Amino acid sequence: MATSTWVIDPTHSEVQFKVKHLVISTVTGSFKSFEGSVQTEGDSFDGASIQFTADVNSIDTNMEQRDGHLKSADFFDAENFPTLSFASTSFVQKGDDEFTLTGDLTLRGVTKSISLAVNYGGQMVDFYGNTKAGFELTGKINRKDFGLNWGAVTEAGGVVVSDEVKLHFNIQVAKQA
């Protein structure tokens, strides 16, 4: 069976994270610049190999001051670690539209294995004859596992930023000719 290559369509994809602030509300952020590819045997995604990178300097939480703090050495240290990356180790179909994606996430020079739940939205041919496939990925990580250790406590004893970070990606890939 022929190997197929699919690439992320950034105009129809989003890479978001959510983290609790003061334990009472959630701040959503995203990476605006990213790329990735998927290698499959034919059109089946079961067993696919996935590579992904994001530009840390493209982080956007809708507040410039916070974005600057996240890029600093307190968090991502974008000057020394300008990209985050992910390389799959397995992509296993669990049901008709459900997969588990496991792989190595590298943030701030630290690599850890993570697993994400994946919902496969299907395939469609667009107006230009391009075959596209869509996926929604969700999961969570502990930011401190990756050296993002900054923390502060309010006068009342509340945590400013939670350790748990929820991940939510909507990804569309385009099959390459």
| Per-residue pLDDT at 108 exceeds 90 | yes
Contacts with 161 (C-beta within 8 Å, 6 or more apart), sequence order: 19, 20, 21, 143, 150, 151, 152
CATH numbers and ranges of domains, the chain? 3-175 (2.40.128.110)
- How do residues 84-103 score in pLDDT, each as one tens digit? 999 999 999 999 999 999 99
Q: Is residue 19 predicted with pLDDT exceeding 60?
A: yes
Model-level pTM? 0.90
How do residues 33-83 score in pLDDT, each as one tens digit? 999 999 999 878 999 999 999 999 999 999 999 899 899 998 899 999 999
Alpha-carbon dihedral 80, 11, 91, 82, rounded to 10 degrees: 0
Average predicted confidence (pLDDT) for the chain: 91
pLDDT at 149: 75
In the predicted model, is pLDDT for residue 117 greater than 90? yes
The separation between CA 148 and the C-alpha centre of its own chain, rounded to angstroms, equals 16
